[in-house]
Amino acid sequence: MTPRHVQLDGEGRLRHFITTEGLSRQILTEILDTAENFATVGSQKIKKVPLLRGNTIVNLFFEPSTRTRTTFELAAKRLSADVLNLNINTSSASKGESLLDMLRNLEAMGSDMFVVRHNQSGAAQFIAEHVAPHISIINAGDGSHAHPTQAMLDMFTIRRHKPDFTRLRVAIIGDIMHSRVARSQIHALNILGVPEIRVVGPQTLIPQHAAHLGVHIHHSLETGLKDVDVVMMLRLQRERMEGALLPSAEEYFARFGLTQAKLALAAPDAIVMHPGPINRGVEIDSSVADGAQSVILEQVTNGIAVRMAVMSLVLGRGPRSEEAAP
Amino acid sequence: MKILIKNGRLIDPAVQTDRIADLHIADGRIIAQDQAPDGFSPDQVLDASGLHVIPGLIDLSARLREPGQEYKGTIASETRAAAAAGITTLCMPPDTDPIIDTPAVAEQIIRQAHDAGFARVIPLGALTLGLAGEQLAEMALLRDQGQCGAISNACQPINSAHVMRSAMEYAASCRMTVFLHADVPDLSHRGVVHEGVVSTRLGLRGIPEAAETVSVARELMLIEQTGVRAHFCHLSSAHSVRLIARAIADGLPISMGVTAHHLHLTEMDIGFFDSQCHILPPLRTQRDRDGLRQGLANGEIAIISSDHQPHDADAKLAPFGETEPGISGLETLLPLSLRMVDDGLLSLPALLAKLTCEPARILGRSDIGSLQPGSRADICLYDPEQPWTVDPSRFVSQGHNTPFAGWELKGRVTHTLLDGRQVFGPQP
């Protein structure tokens, strides 16, 4: 039996957003529905709603990131929150003690939410367990563990094109082993009722026990793509091609690169997704990335609405006094 | 000082006795069971009614953190914890700072342990200089001058098979036992948990089973060639146990051990990144845990150790991968081990053998680990029935790091004697 996760409050609502694992379909759907309401804000002339006016949100990034941080910042600003960006060099803050000390200092500045990115799996969970009870944590990526807002913006994008999750075949292609995005996607897809989730890649990039996550494993792109409705590509880090995991970028592209010819094996109306940044010619061919079936840029746009939804749900749960201590 | 321990249930696995009897102690030795020798008049009488009276426990692996990491523990603080846990002899791996690769360091440790007076500390000498895996350490001097009970490279690898072979050959010629930590660092690759379901779920770097089994396989071949006596410390996988058991059956002069915590926990106990379960070798699957228990039950696994690693609080206060591995294990060693009897795996004397006479045999010590007349009066008395709840804040050890907080256990130590002197328990 697993104890209740720290991300839920006494009434089962999100008080932090650490992982998609273990959440209910109801919570995920609430995030998607809320995001749907926010999606129009970005196309208005005045792109702001006053929901989080007076709240202070700190982007606490221990790992360099421009895109994710920017979308979180935009999301917070569109909700009228005050935003503070802190980029922390992990070499000066790699010990737990200084991490906790840093949290205490930020707490003392009257923050309401930390958006955390860290290179260690479990970092967001650790911070949530040790932060003052009035502060909420949003995980913006921890090691290889989770990147739940990315997964939710992916779910949002899928739902806009394929409203019924329970009729979908989804393939996730690439470096599953090191991907926090893949883990969060797999949990979210399972929770939302997707009947067939495939992970596709060479054995060296797929954990031996991946099946326990509720996926089917394919080592061939051809069988993995057959008749799928959604193709989710993952980014292949450069360093994976230099060690013992893969022979070369060329061989990887030959076997697992998404080309128009390979994509033709999927359902005719399949959509192609990628969390970015794209390695053109390594995991995906430019003609596919920029092609008619690609929804990659939509994902970026949707990221803002989904992050607004998560921030407003987590911070807008009503009276704080009901909360249990962490 | 003469002591009479009366009416206790004497369990001496060395000679397979288990009966209610009196025990007579004089001048630091056990002098008789049952009838007092002529003219024996005790200075102190311990009424052991309802208690078990067993040889003081012998723990083949415990970090005391001194010298080098006194902020985590000292020889005095950790031997005091040992006394409170009924442990009278502790083997200390050589990875201190400075490393136990010269007799002077070993002598200093023994002197400090002696001054503290709570437990006998047997240093394990380094197998290679600086544990660097390149040049042999002065094994014979470590034994003869430093009183090292065995040699070991602690958890540091000896990557070169040539160096390992030479070290084993040299140790064999000195008639010393080598303690081995089975790990191929190239395969464990900075991993922090078992490579399996939990590493997959949490995105933590995994340590494959092969990191242990590949090392076991290489060392077995080298042991066979060199004839050295060897002991595999704290195994984590059922597969390793099978490999070693087969080699024992083939007649190799080897033994193996397991920690008390590996008999209870699995990777699942990590839950959501519980750093108290950051342990090396890692907690593996339920099948591995069952395999370790099976090996214990059928006698293949000779000993249980605490693999005590006390930490300061900050060592466990970080994201999982940045925390330090290990548990403060002295004070849960006996009660966690006794649960194996409650679980029906083996008899009480068979279990106690793995904490007393078996480790004594591996160390080649005939003066400890038994209650027979002539043995050192290292004795542990415990209450087999009284349940207690593990509360780390009440640990005697300076390290409060344990995944067993809140567990209800039985087997509370009431008195500990070291060389016929009471080192734990209510003062008379």
pLDDT tens readout for residues A135-188: 999 999 999 999 999 999 999 999 999 999 999 999 999 999 999 999 999 999
Which of B181, B103, B99 is CA-nearest to residue B132? B99
B323 vs A: CB within 8 A: yes
Find, in chain A, the residue whose alpha carbon is nearest to that of B197.
A209
Find, in chain A, the residue whose alpha carbon is nearest to that of B317.
A96
What's the token pair of residue A314? 């987590």
B271 vs A: CB within 8 A: yes
Contact (CB<8Å) B204/A122: yes
Residue B295 pLDDT: 98
pLDDT tens readout for residues B267-293: 999 999 999 999 999 999 999 999 999
Identity at A195, one-letter amino acid code: P
Tell me which residue in A94, A183, A210 faces B322 most closely, judged by beta carbons: A94
DSSP character at residue A112: S
What average pLDDT score do residues A102-107 get? 86
Contact (CB<8Å) B273/A97: no
A212 vs B: CB within 8 A: yes
What average pLDDT score do residues A98-112 get? 85
Residue A320 pLDDT grade (very low, low, confident, very high; cuts 50, 70, 90):
very low
Residue A94 pLDDT: 52
Tell me which residue in B195, B317, B320 faces A122 most closely, judged by beta carbons: B320
- CA of B80 vs chain A CAs: smallest distance (Å): 28
Domain range list for chain B:
2-53+376-424, 56-363
The alpha-carbon radius of gyration of chain A (Å, integer) is 19
- CA of A142 vs chain B CAs: smallest distance (Å): 9
A23 vs B: CB within 8 A: no
Contact (CB<8Å) B200/A210: yes
Tell me which residue in B195, B204, B317 faces A121 most closely, judged by beta carbons: B204
B320 vs A: CB within 8 A: yes
Contact (CB<8Å) B317/A100: yes
Mean of pLDDT over chain A: 91
Mean of pLDDT over chain B: 97
For B356-421, the three-class secondary structure string (H helix, E strand, C coil) is CHHHHHHHCCCCCCCCCCCCECCEEEEEEEEEEECCHHHCCCCCCCCCCCCCEEEEEEEEEEECCE
Contact (CB<8Å) A126/B197: no
Positive or negative: CA dihedral B392, B395, B398, B402: negative
pLDDT tens readout for residues A216-269: 999 999 999 999 999 999 999 877 776 788 998 899 999 999 999 999 999 999
Over 70: is that where the pLDDT of A91 sits?
no
What average pLDDT score do residues B4-12 get? 97
A102 vs B: CB within 8 A: no
Contact (CB<8Å) B321/A121: yes
What's the token pair of residue B103? 């007799």
Tell me which residue in B196, B206, B319 faces A126 most closely, judged by beta carbons: B319
Residues of B with active-site annotation: 307
- CA of A264 vs chain B CAs: smallest distance (Å): 31
Positive or negative: CA dihedral A12, A13, A16, A20: positive
- CA of B201 vs chain A CAs: smallest distance (Å): 7
Give Cα separations from A265 to A232, A234, A288 (angstroms). Answer: 15, 19, 13
Tell me which residue in A96, A146, A212 faces B322 most closely, judged by beta carbons: A96
Q: Counting Cβ atoms within 10 Å, is residue B21 exposed (0-12), middle (13-18) or buried (19+)? A: buried
Contact (CB<8Å) A146/B322: no
pLDDT tens readout for residues B337-370: 999 999 999 999 999 999 999 999 999 999 999 9
Which of B286, B328, B365, B347 is CA-nearest to residue B122? B365
Residue A142 pLDDT: 97
Residue A323 pLDDT grade (very low, low, confident, very high; cuts 50, 70, 90):
very low
Contact (CB<8Å) B203/A210: no
pLDDT tens readout for residues B150-197: 999 999 999 999 999 999 999 999 999 999 999 999 999 899 999 999
What average pLDDT score do residues A284-313 get? 96
A239 vs B: CB within 8 A: no
What's the token pair of residue A295? 């929804």
| Percent above pLDDT 70 for chain A | 93
Q: Counting Cβ atoms within 10 Å, is residue B319 exposed (0-12), middle (13-18) or buried (19+)? A: buried
DSSP character at residue A85: E
The whole-angstrom separation of Cα A265 and Cα A255 is 14
Residue A325 pLDDT: 39
The whole-angstrom separation of Cα B365 and Cα A128 is 51
For chain B, the three-class secondary structure string (H helix, E strand, C coil) is CEEEEEEEEEEECCCCEEEEEEEEEECCEEEEECCCCCCCCCCEEEECCCCEEEECEEECCECCCCCCCCCCCCHHHHHHHHHHCCEEEEEECCCCCCCCCCHHHHHHHHHHHHHHCCCEEEEEEECEHHHCCCCECCHHHHHHCCCCCEEECCCCCCCCHHHHHHHHHHHHHCCCEEEECCCCHHHHCCCCEECCHHHHHHCCCEECCHHHHHHHHHHHHHHHHHCCEEEECCCCCHHHHHHHHHHHHCCCCEEEEEECHHHCCCHHHHCCCCHHHCCCCCCCCHHHHHHHHHHHHCCCCCEEECCECCCCHHHHCCCHHHCCCCECCHHHHHHHHHHHHHCCCCCHHHHHHCCCHHHHHHHCCCCCCCCCCCCECCEEEEEEEEEEECCHHHCCCCCCCCCCCCCEEEEEEEEEEECCEEEECCCC
What's the token pair of residue A119? 């290179």
Where residue A253 falls (left for φ over 0; alpha for ψ -120 to 50; beta otherwise) is alpha
Residues of chain A in contact with residue B199, where contact means CB-CB under 8 angstroms, are 207, 209
Residue A90 pLDDT: 60
The matching CATH number, chosen from 2.30.40.10, 1.10.760.10, 3.20.20.70, 3.40.50.1010, for B2-53+376-424 is 2.30.40.10
Asked whether the bond before B93 is cis by omega within 30 degrees of 0, the reply is no
What's the token pair of residue A304? 């803002």
pTM above 0.90, yes or no: yes
Residue B328 pLDDT: 98
> Phi and psi (nearest 5°) for A309?
-60, -45
DSSP character at residue A151: H
Residue A137 pLDDT: 97
Residues of chain A in contact with residue B322, where contact means CB-CB under 8 angstroms, are 94-96, 120
Window from A24-28, A38-42, A241-245 with minimum mean pLDDT? A241-245
CATH architecture of B56-363: Alpha-Beta Barrel (3.20)
A126 vs B: CB within 8 A: yes
Contact (CB<8Å) B199/A142: no
B318 vs A: CB within 8 A: yes
pLDDT tens readout for residues B196-240: 999 999 999 999 999 999 999 999 999 999 999 999 999 999 999
Contact (CB<8Å) B203/A183: yes
Residues of chain A in contact with residue B205, where contact means CB-CB under 8 angstroms, are 144
